[in-house]
Structures are given as C-alpha cells and as structure tokens.
Amino acid sequence: MTMSLPFVVTTSVEKPDLEARKLIRSHVMLGKNLGKIMTRRPGKQKQHVDAGQRLGNIPPKVGSDLSTIRLADAVEPYKIDVILRFSSIAKQALYPLHSCILFEKKEETWIEPLASDPAYLNAMIFTTLDYFETLRHCDQSSVSQRTLPHCLRTIQLLRRRLLQESDKALTTPTIATILALAAHAHFVSDFKSAEYHLGGLRKIVNLKGGVATFNDNAKLLVEILRCDVGMSLNSGSRPFFFDNSSSREPFLPFPDLKLLLKSMLSSSTAEVKYNPEILLYDVDQDLAAAWIVMAEFCQVINRTAESQHRITTETFLLTMASVIYRLLDMTKFKANSTEEAIRLGLLAFSSSVFLQWKQLGLSYNYLATTYRERLAESRCQNVPPRLLLWLLVVGAVSVFGCEDEKWLRPRLRANIDSIGGLKSWTDVQDVLKSFMWIGLVLDEPGLEVFDSAMTGDSTHSAALTLGPCEI
C-alpha cells in the first residue's frame, strides 16, 4: 500500500520522473548497487502521469527506460517505473499540508536502496502495487496475488538480515522496510501483524539510541510516528512511542510557534494572538496547553497558505508529536465531561491536519466510535452551542462516515439554529475560526457538510462518504 511510500519518498511534483532515474543511474555508475541487469521491453513509450490525475488511473504496467540499471533483485522494470511515478505525487496524495511544508530533498535515502537493498526493493514494490490494486478493485482485505511473491520475499530477506546480518539491522533501509510492512498490515486491517512490526520497529529505534538519533532524518521519524498514531486512533491500542504508561520516554517539547508567527508578520511589533474562547470553559491545564499550540499552528499554516513561506519538516514533526501523544495520554477525564469532548475533538482535528488516511479509504474506527458516543445528544447538554458546532463539524470532516449522516445532519441543523444568526457558510466559518480552523484543508469538506445539514440532501455529503474508490 502506498501508505509506506511517504516513509521514503520526498520527490517534488515539479521534478519529472527523469530526475529520479538519473539519480539511480548515477548510483549505478558509482558501483553502489548489486543485482541483475534488466533488459528493455521493446515498443513501450514513457507515459507521464500528472499529479492532478486520479491515482487509480495509473496503469498497472507502464513503459520504462531502465535497461541499464542494476537493481538489488530480479524484478520487472515496469514495477520500478510505478514506484518512481508515484513518487512525483506522493506528497500531494499523502500530506494535507504538502504545499506548506519544506521537505528537504534526500533522494539518496530512498533511491539508493532500490539498487542495493533487496528487502527494501521488494517492500516498495508490493506496497506500491497493492495500493493501486486497492484503488482499482476497492478491495482492502489482503495482499494481491500479483504482489504476494514480493511480500513473502521481503519478509524472508528481512528475517535473514535480522538473524544473520546484525550490522544492517539498524540502517535506514531496514527501518523503512519494517515500516512498510507495518503500514501495509494496518491498511489491510491486519492489526495483529501491524502491532508486531511496530513493536519490532520500536526495539530498533531503542537500539539506535531513541528518537533523538533521527535529527538528520526528520521525514523518516514523521512517518514512523504517523504510522504509530494512525494505529492507535484506529484500533484503540496504546502507541509504541511516547507512551508514559510503559516507558520513560519524555514527550517532545512544544514548538515555539509564537516566535515563528512573529517572523511571518509584516510588522515585527504585531502581537501574536489566538482566540482564547476555549479557555473560558475552565479546561484542564494540560489540555489547554495542547489546544493553544494547535491554535497557533493553525495560524501559522493559514498565513503560510497566503504567502510564499513554508514550515520546516521539524516544525511539522514537533507540533504533531507533542500535541497528539499528549492527547492520547490524557485518560483522566470523565466520559461525559466537556474536557473529554474537547480532547477527542482535538484528536479528530489533528488527524485531518497531520494524517490523510481517511482520504485513502482508511478509517479511525476507535476514535470515531468513542467520539460518536461522546457527542450523543444526552451527553452534550452541558457543552456550549458554539463549541458543539465546532466539535460536530470537525467530526464530520475528519472521522465520521456515511453511516453517521442520519443522526449528524439533523444535529448540525438544530445546533446551527440554536446559535442564531448563522445564515450562511461564511457565518459558520466565523464560529469555527473562533476556535481553530485551517481553510486550506477543511473549507471544502466543511462547506459540503454545511450544505448537507441545511438542505438535508445527501448529495452534498461527500465529505462524510469518501472511500478508497472515490479518491
């Protein structure tokens, strides 16, 4: 599945596939790769795939000019071509905020292993092709027969390495390979295998010296933590990283977003503000701290979207990890409390900002179920109407699905009517922005949810029904 691809892919859409191929050839000339020379398949022409196309339209077999490349294992050239083609649209497909993040180009971290690491090569092949198989056939239940040999080959080579080649066990390609296996298992709802692979990955990170050793590869750590968080939100399992109940690993510090905001303002003396409305509800101090950081992050992203600025991968990483892991660790609130509703709302909001798994057909079953139960009408009597509006809309655009339309539409309509004065989507936006909101990611699905609630027409509720066949 392609969920594994962002673990290793950072190629920009502005750079054509030819650039990636040149990099591979350069590594061949340096003699860094091993394997069998592939022969050219005659009569095939290179077909450029535009980032704006539906990912499912990428053909299962495309032409290739990889005839001179030595790969790490004997594979058909078109499979490598698919990997490289997807790399050009990976950020757009898998990062909601891709246009606002400055990903450092580290092509060597994912290109070189295709030519030198057979386990990594096979992992990239079966996860990439399985993703496209899922888009074409809407089947998310298992490894396809076409890619099963590469999956088995990956596991065989990885097992041999961990048992016999200890010097390679802590390398970046090995970590990326295990991460691919974990994410793919999650993608096909094999949670037992996903937890097994994540547990192994946790041990390897410990052996390397902990998450601090990823300072020179923040992108890889982002993908490790995104996989870990996604599993926790989906299955309800404890995360493997920053879990205070089982380790002494401290949470990552909150980033200093106020300083970043000031640097983005036209006037150096302008005051950095966030709307403190949430603090009127006398919430827990730790919860309030997480809320403030996310509210500031929203301001940063909203300003970035309107300018030529971009945030670093490190800023993205620190915000995501420092906020989400603290929220996952907050188990002290009563189930029917306003604070628990806010905590779950922040988790749902964060999932739409830092992850994009719903858009890939994956759900957050545990979070959705818990959040749905908390927002039951009988449990919301003490939640202020404006806050409830934010909680309902965030749930609709982030974690709820088509099965929630029946209860969610009338609840939203009744809530909007109870506030009064909300006649248009712009009016509702103003309320949402008084808490936190990122228009770049949420305006379009939010408008669809609003239209659906006000008209009662399910044709407007696309934001609630996105699945793997509708991307």
How far apart, in whole angstroms, are the C-alpha atoms of residue 97 and residue 140?
A: 26
Place of tokens 């006649």: 423
Q: What share of the chain in percent tops pLDDT 90?
A: 41
**pLDDT recorded at residue 91:** 73
How far apart, in whole angstroms, are the C-alpha atoms of residue 230 and residue 325?
A: 11
Supply the mean pLDDT for the chain. Answer: 77
Cα–Cα nearest to 329, from 226, 220, 436, 249: 249
Q: Is the pLDDT of residue 397 over 90?
A: yes
Q: What is the identity of the amino acid at 235?
A: S
Highest mean pLDDT among 54-68, 144-158, 324-338: 324-338
Q: Is the pLDDT of residue 311 over 70?
A: yes
Place of tokens 């506030």: 419
Helices (H) and strands (E) in the chain, counts: 19, 2
Mention every residue, 6+ apart, whose C-beta is less than 8 A from residue 283: 291, 338, 339, 342
Q: Counting Cβ atoms within 10 Å, is residue 270 exposed (0-12), middle (13-18) or buried (19+)? A: exposed
Compare 8 and 93 and report the one with higher pLDDT. Answer: 93
**pLDDT recorded at residue 33:** 34
Can you give the pTM of this predicted structure?
Answer: 0.80
Beta bridge partners of 101: 311
Integer angstrom CA distances of residue 398 from 109, 210, 352, 391: 32, 31, 5, 10
Compare 280 and 402 and report the one with higher pLDDT. Answer: 402
Q: Is the pLDDT of residue 197 over 80?
A: yes
Compare 46 and 285 and report the one with higher pLDDT. Answer: 285
Q: What angle is formed at CA 343 by the lines to CA 341 and CA 346, rounded to 5 degrees?
A: 105
Q: Is the pLDDT of residue 458 over 50?
A: yes
**pLDDT recorded at residue 290:** 94
**pLDDT recorded at residue 87:** 72
- Other CB atoms within a 10 A radius of the CB of residue 134 amount to 22
Q: Is the pLDDT of residue 467 over 50?
A: no
For residue range 399-421, what is the model confidence (pLDDT) as tens digits?
Answer: 998 889 999 999 999 999 999 89
Q: Counting Cβ atoms within 10 Å, is residue 194 exposed (0-12), middle (13-18) or buried (19+)? A: buried
For residue range 99-152, what is the model confidence (pLDDT) as tens digits?
Answer: 888 877 655 667 778 888 999 989 988 888 887 776 666 555 556 677 788 889
Highest mean pLDDT among 4-13, 338-347, 358-367: 338-347
Integer angstrom CA distances of residue 268 from 272, 299, 304, 305: 10, 16, 17, 20
Q: What angle is formed at CA 156 by the lines to CA 151 and CA 159, rounded to 5 degrees?
A: 120
Instruction: Using only the alpha carbons of the chain, give its radius of gyration.
Output: 23
How far apart, in whole angstroms, are the C-alpha atoms of residue 107 and residue 206?
A: 25
Cα–Cα nearest to 467, from 123, 163, 185, 137: 137
**pLDDT recorded at residue 140:** 55
How far apart, in whole angstroms, are the C-alpha atoms of residue 1 and residue 128?
A: 5
Least confident window among 134-138, 165-169, 249-253, 298-302: 134-138
How far apart, in whole angstroms, are the C-alpha atoms of residue 146 and residue 287?
A: 47
Confidence of residue 260 (pLDDT cuts 50, 70, 90): confident
**pLDDT recorded at residue 469:** 31
Q: Tell me the helix, strand and coil percentages in the chain, rounded to 5.
A: 65, 0, 35
Kindly state the average pLDDT of the residues 296-315: 90
How far apart, in whole angstroms, are the C-alpha atoms of residue 142 and residue 140?
A: 6
How far apart, in whole angstroms, are the C-alpha atoms of residue 204 and residue 192?
A: 19
How far apart, in whole angstroms, are the C-alpha atoms of residue 230 and residue 343?
A: 16
